[in-house]
Amino acid sequence: MLFILKKGADWSTLKEKISSSGASYRYLNLYGKELVVAWPDSLVETVVDPSVEMKVKPKRPFQLASNEWKSDPTIVDVKGVKIGDRKVVVAAGPCAVEDEEQLMTTAKEVKRAGASLLRGGAFKPRTSPYSFQGLGVKGLELLRRASDETGLPVVTEIMDQRHMEYFKKYADMLQIGARNAQNFDLLKEAGRSGMPVLLKRGMGNTVEEWILTAEYILLENNGSVVLCERGIRTFEKSTRFTIDIGGMVSAKLQTHLPICADPSHPAGKRELVHSLALAAVAAGADMLIVEVHPRPEKALSDSEQQLTPEQFSLLMQRIKALAEALGRTA
């Protein structure tokens, strides 16, 4: 249950009423609104208080992410880059940061092609422990340098909350990867960091489970969450994962959060990336995150799906044309 408070109201009597009902609650200041979320609904059904402007009982399990109480779309601001607005925002860069030259070259190329954010993994979640694991903190430092040089804010994956101090220092947006999508302690810590979060959908998660992972972040008083569809596991083997365009649209229709699509990981192959990216934009994605490498065939991870800078530049032209046809920009 959501109790939206009157601006600046003294809610001490509401607090007492909720506490004495035995319900759990949290006071939040989200999107310029003061509110108290209390649960379970059954214990607070009859609670009324003069501090409350509106009481909302969302039908969906994700109360804060639901557009039942907030109908205007949320715009997430990453150092001035606005995600969820008219412009289709594109983040691009290598799967993994490998060395200074590779990152700097890519950063400059994607900037030239029109990307707004730089991506690149410093801590890599790899299926095999024998695969390249990323440069760690050194990779974060390189990302910061590339960002300072190009002016592109950085989005990069955090795998362990114990590394948060480095991400606060070097990154502009946290990425939670598909493999950590339901690492609830990491989600809470990402929420508490106050940083914008790009939240991937777990490859085995339903849309509802995915949105509930965002709820963990919102409940820490952090409203800057972008949901990212990156493909789910199905029986289909012709692509690496099955990009769930319908699920992405469903998430958009049920929440106020901006939606991103990652066409690279579901594609698994370079030649599929353009089509998946364009399909996602056509379906209403607010953002794309695309892997680009100056020499994809030499990449230390995801070599087959990374675009060359030339291929990325062509993709940007296509995205721009499509965005314009849809009354947007890119």
Instruction: Establish if 177 lies at the interface with ligand PEP (CB under 6 A).
Output: yes
Q: Indicate which of Mn ion, ligand PEP, none lies near residue 117 (CB less than 5 to 8 Å, by partner kind).
A: none
215/302 with CB nearer ligand PEP: 302
Instruction: Establish if 230 lies at the interface with ligand PEP (CB under 6 A).
Output: yes
Kindly state the smallest distance separating residue 57's Cβ from ligand PEP, in Å. Answer: 34
Q: Indicate which of ligand PEP, Mn ion, none lies near residue 194 (CB less than 5 to 8 Å, by partner kind).
A: none
Interface residue list for Mn ion (CB under 5 A)? 95, 302
Give Cβ neighbours of residue 143 (< 8 Å, ≥ 6 apart): 97, 103, 118, 120, 122, 154, 156, 170, 171
175/213 with CB nearer Mn ion: 175
Provide the H-helix boundaries in the chain. 12-21, 41-44, 100-113, 137-150, 164-170, 184-193, 207-218, 245-254, 264-267, 270-282, 309-325
- Interacting stretch for ligand PEP, rule CB under 6 A, among 105-113, 142-150, 172-180, 210-218? 172-180
* Helix 100-113 / helix 309-325 crossing angle, nearest 10 deg: 30
Q: Which of residues 263-282 bind ligand PEP (CB under 6 A)?
A: 265
237: part of which helix (H) or strand (E)?
A: none
Kindly state the smallest distance separating residue 203's Cβ from ligand PEP, in Å. Answer: 7
Instruction: Establish if 178 lies at the interface with ligand PEP (CB under 6 A).
Output: yes
**Coil vs helix vs strand at 219:** coil
Kindly state the smallest distance separating residue 167's Cβ from ligand PEP, in Å. Answer: 15
**Coil vs helix vs strand at 121:** strand
Dist CA 166 CA 314 (whole Å): 34
Instruction: Establish if 50 lies at the interface with ligand PEP (CB under 6 A).
Output: no
Q: Count of residues binding ligand PEP (CB under 6 A)?
A: 10
Residue with tokens 């909302």: 56
Instruction: Establish if 95 lies at the interface with ligand PEP (CB under 6 A).
Output: yes
Dist CA 54 CA 316 (whole Å): 44
Kindly state the smallest distance separating residue 265's Cβ from Mn ion, in Å. Answer: 6
Residue nearest ligand PEP, Cβ-based:
177
User: Residue 229: phi, psi to the nearest 5?
Assistant: -80, 130
95/316 with CB nearer Mn ion: 95
78: part of which helix (H) or strand (E)?
A: strand 76-78
2/120 with CB nearer ligand PEP: 120
Instruction: Establish if 61 lies at the interface with ligand PEP (CB under 6 A).
Output: no
- Interacting stretch for ligand PEP, rule CB under 6 A, among 28-36, 97-105, 177-185, 304-312? 177-185
Q: Indicate which of Mn ion, ligand PEP, none lies near residue 125 (CB less than 5 to 8 Å, by partner kind).
A: ligand PEP
74/301 with CB nearer Mn ion: 301
Dist CA 88 CA 69 (whole Å): 25
- 281 and 322 in contact (C-beta within 8 Å)? yes
Q: Which of residues 116-145 bind ligand PEP (CB under 6 A)?
A: 121, 125
Dist CA 205 CA 77 (whole Å): 27
Reference 302, options 86, 85, 93; nearest CA is 93
Kindly state the smallest distance separating residue 132's Cβ from ligand PEP, in Å. Answer: 12
